[in-house]
Amino acid sequence: MGPKKEFPYQGRRVIGQEIDTVSSNETWSAYTLEDGTVIKMKSVLLTIVRLDEHDATGNPIYMFTSHQIIGVTAPDDLKKKEN
């Protein structure tokens, strides 16, 4: 865990700390469209911060930054033809 410091949250500064990941499972979600195209997506978390705040059910609030990875595989008949 990183040191406690201030982070912006809902228009104010809140104390929190960056939390390290000890394991992950970043699987792909695949969506097949009616035209035969397959879209694959996954989200990769870059940083995770646990705030010294809690939601209405008592759980700690986490903020994170992530990167979305998207791949598209279209059928040959939808691909642009080379000249």
Q: How far apart are CA 29 and CA 71, in angstroms?
A: 10
Total number of residues shown for the chain: 83
What does the pLDDT look like over 29-75, one tens digit per residue? 999 999 999 999 999 999 999 999 999 999 999 999 999 999 999 99
pLDDT at 14 over 90: yes
User: For residues 22 and 16, what is the distance between their CA atoms, to the nearest angstrom?
Assistant: 19
